[in-house]
A and B are shown apart, each in its own frame.
Chain A
């Protein structure tokens, strides 16, 4: 079955510490992969995307993600977290079931402690 999994519902990180948010997917072909961030009551902002090529992609706000085909993963990282990074993060996988659609994982809520 096609699915997207974000194993961590909540993560708390100290300000200035590094961050890694996990994302695994199950899909028969090589997918297009996305990470979005959502602030409370807001829409989604694209952080970065992977279509092809270099498996380490750079995004906005200092985020990066690495596509690992062997692990079916696309983990999001940031070397030093800022308090303003506290938000909900969603991993998205574009699937094609006759037409394109973007399916999300369950999301990870990031809390940043002082």
Chain B
């Protein structure tokens, strides 16, 4: 079946540094990937839609310059949290759309900014 690998599963970084999270579709090509953010005990908030070879489409209220998304190939999308601050600490989950089969999710990345 469709598998999405997300890496790292957890990361701790210092305030002011940048962190990159990778999302890979292992056994299918994904022209569209999605990035979600989840606060503790809350729902998944869609941050942006990542389309291969084009700019990401961000949801209202999401800072484009803070959360950089790159979808350079049909199997890889990256989310870079730039100049991270403690309020960026959260659980980030990616998803890949497989046409006709729906959405497959990665296992998530726990980001802690200290």
Contacts and interface: CB of A to CB of B under 8 A. Distances in A.
A joins B in a complex = yes
Interface stretch (B43-51, B61-69, B74-82): B43-51
Interface size class of B (residues with CB under 8 A): 20 to 34
Contacts of B49: 99, 101
Contacts, number: 52
Contacts of A11: none
B32 A43 contact: no
A43 B65 CA distance: 26
B110 A104 contact: no
B103 A102 contact: yes
Nearest to B48: A101
B21 to A, nearest CB: 13
Contacts of B97: 100
Contact of A102 (B43, B95, B107): B95
Contacts of A100: 32, 97
Contacts of B57: 99
A44 B91 CA distance: 12
Interface size class of A (residues with CB under 8 A): 20 to 34
Contact of A43 (B41, B43, B51, B106): B106
Contact of A107 (B32, B43, B107): B43
B105 A36 contact: yes
B46 A103 contact: yes
Given A43-B93, A43-B108, A99 B44 contact: no
Among B6, B105, B106, B108, chain A packs the most CB atoms within 10 A around the CB of B105
Among B34, B44, B105, chain A packs the most CB atoms within 10 A around the CB of B44
Given A42-B107, A42-B108, A105 B102 contact: no
Interface in A18-57: 32, 34, 36, 41-46, 49
Contact of B105 (A43, A49, A103, A106): A43
A101 B43 contact: no
A49 B102 contact: yes
A36 B108 CA distance: 14
Nearest to B95: A102
B42 A107 contact: yes
A67 interface: no
